[in-house]
Amino acid sequence: MSRMLLVLCGVLLFAVLTVTSASAQEVPPSAPPHIEKTAPQNQNPTEEVTRDGFSVGFNLHRFQDDFGTGVLVGTPTFAHDSIRVTAGGGIAWYPYAPGGNGEQTWLSYYHGRLVMEGGHRIKGTPLRLYGVGGVIALFTPPRLSGDLVHVGGYGGFGFEFYMPENRKDGPVSYLIELGGIGTGTQADKLPGKPIIANGFLMTVGMRFYP
């Protein structure tokens, strides 16, 4: 009798385990595939693609009272997307030079700079805020100064706005930089030896991300 009871208990236990196993195998096939298929579809539309690679651009600037323009080249960002190195250069004009008849005229000079930008993208927005600092060199003609090269500092704060395009950054961004420039440059060939490109600076421009 006891042997039959043991056999019966074994059969009941086997039946319970079989039903439990069958139930466990029947439920997951419908639920997990549904979750795996729908979750990526709900997440893909909200994915953001940002621009952080090589860039080229051009800018308009004001060094003290001198208007100018130039081009720039930027490296991809590094150090957790926080640092970028930018090189730029172009032409500027000193607007107060005396002309042949005593009237004011513009005298051109050239400039080049190498700066480092440190900052971060504001998460969920197309705006990047950064600080910028580095060196700048001015190359003046003999009519303006007796020294050909003048080296100084360039620094300030920048704002870069990435034009959004289908939930990702487009290939173009706009930038504004405000700060100061100091080179100690003087137009010692002009009356009064006026100071050139020292003081407030403002730059506006565009970057292109190939």
**Residues 171 and 199 placed together within one structural domain of the fold:** yes
**Residues 37 and 69 placed together within one structural domain of the fold:** no
**Residues 80 and 174 placed together within one structural domain of the fold:** yes
**Residues 127 and 189 placed together within one structural domain of the fold:** yes
Read off the pLDDT of each residue in 126-151 and give the average, rounded to a whole number.
96
CB 50 within 8 A of CB 168: yes
**Residues 60 and 10 placed together within one structural domain of the fold:** no
- Look up tokens 């950064």; give the residue: 130
**Residues 18 and 104 placed together within one structural domain of the fold:** no
- What pLDDT is attached to residue 49? 66
Domain limits at 135?
A: 55-208
- Asked if the model's pLDDT at residue 46 lies above 70, the reply is no
> CATH code at 107?
2.40.160.20
Question: CA-to-CA distance for 66 and 178, rounded, in angstroms?
Answer: 15
**Residues 26 and 74 placed together within one structural domain of the fold:** no
**Residues 175 and 126 placed together within one structural domain of the fold:** yes
- What pLDDT is attached to residue 48? 56
Read off the pLDDT of each residue in 118-146 and give the average, rounded to a whole number.
95
- Measured from the Cβ of residue 28, the count of other Cβ atoms closer than 10 Å reads 9
- Look up tokens 């190195």; give the residue: 85
- What pLDDT is attached to residue 58? 97
**Residues 86 and 188 placed together within one structural domain of the fold:** yes
Give 100's pLDDT tier (boundaries 50, 70, 90): confident
Question: CA-to-CA distance for 55 and 104, rounded, in angstroms?
Answer: 38
Q: Which two tokens stand for residue 94?
A: 């000193």
